[in-house]
Structure 1
Amino acid sequence: MLASPDKVATMAFDWGSIKWFVTPSLIPGAGSTLGEVIVNPGQGHARHNHPGSEEIIYVISGEAMQMVDDGEPFLIREGDTVHIPAGAYHSTYNSTWRPLRLIVTYTPGGEEKALEGAPDLHLHEPGGVPRWLQART
């Protein structure tokens, strides 16, 4: 099955957006999840974990500070890959002015379902475009 960006929904949050291309709920028989994550400048994913799945993060572009298993945060940038064991707490923060683009996988798939309950989730149907407003300080 082919999944292209204009054919899948966009999950938009205050911090950025996600497009899931492969998930067990989208593709019958799929055992893993794969998607593109965009973290907006000055934003990030707060400390969290995935008890039932390991996660792999591949940096397409940009850079951020990554924490894994409550260890010391370290810099990730274009071309880097991070493995996060199942259950390990982790966070990603983009402290730069450029968007951070990531490919993310969960094995086994299904952990993406937890995001459906996020209070800041705005779901955009395929072809829809999310908009972010700059906060005034």
Structure 2
Amino acid sequence: MLLNPGDVTTMTFDWGSIKWFVTPSTVEGASSTLGEVIVNPGKGHARHNHPDAEEIIYVISGEATQMVDDGDPFPLREGDAVHIPKGAWHSTYNTTWRPLRLIVTYTPGGEEKALEAAPDFCRHAPGTVPEWRQA
């Protein structure tokens, strides 16, 4: 099954956007989740965890500060990957003026559903382009 960005919905938040290409709820037989995450300049994900899934973050472009398991924050750069064990508290912050582009996976999949409860969550139909405005 071929999926391109125009085929899937876009989730937006005040910190950035996500396109989930593969999830157990959208691809028959899928047991993991894979998507592209864009974190806007100076924004990030506050400390959180995924009790039932491990996460892998791969940096396509940009730079960030990453914290895993309440350890000391460390830099992430293009080409770096981070494994976050099930239940480990973590956060990711874009520390530059450029967008941070990540590939993110959850195993097992399904953790992406929790994002729909965020107060700033918005879903955009496939093929539409979210409009960003400075507050």
TM-score range, shorter chain: over 0.9
Q: How does 1:87-102 map to 2 (within 5 A)?
A: 87-102=87-102
Match of 1:26 in 2: 26
Q: How does 1:113-124 map to 2 (within 5 A)?
A: 113-124=113-124
Equivalents in 1 of 2:47, 2:73: separation in Å? 12
Name the SS for the 1:6 alignment partner.
Answer: helix
Name the SS for the 1:58 alignment partner.
Answer: strand
Give percent identity, aligned residues only.
Answer: 79
Equivalents in 2 of 1:38, 1:92: separation in Å? 11
- Counterpart of 1:17, as a letter, is S
Equivalents in 2 of 1:29, 1:7: separation in Å? 18
Match of 1:133 in 2: 133
Equivalents in 1 of 2:57, 2:35: separation in Å? 10
Q: How far did residue 78 of structure 1 move?
A: 0.2
Match of 1:48 in 2: 48
Q: How far did residue 49 of structure 1 move?
A: 0.3
Number of residues of Structure 1 aligned to a counterpart in Structure 2: 135
Match of 1:15 in 2: 15
Equivalents in 1 of 2:131, 2:41: separation in Å? 14
Structure 2: tracts of 5 or more residues without a match = none
Structure 1: tracts of 5 or more residues without a match = none
TM-score of the two chains, using structure 1 as the length reference: 0.97
Equivalents in 1 of 2:77, 2:95: separation in Å? 12
- Counterpart of 2:49, as a letter, is N
Name the SS for the 2:123 alignment partner.
Answer: strand
Equivalents in 1 of 2:134, 2:46: separation in Å? 20
Provide, for residues 68-113 of structure 1, a one-character-per-residue CA deviation record: whole Å limited to 9, x for no partner: 0000000000000000000000000002000000000000000000
Name the SS for the 1:51 alignment partner.
Answer: coil
Match of 1:37 in 2: 37
Equivalents in 2 of 1:74, 1:45: separation in Å? 15
Equivalents in 1 of 2:60, 2:95: separation in Å? 16
Equivalents in 2 of 1:35, 1:114: separation in Å? 15
Name the SS for the 1:30 alignment partner.
Answer: coil
List structure 1 runs of 4+ shifted beyond 2 angstroms: none
Equivalents in 2 of 1:123, 1:113: separation in Å? 12
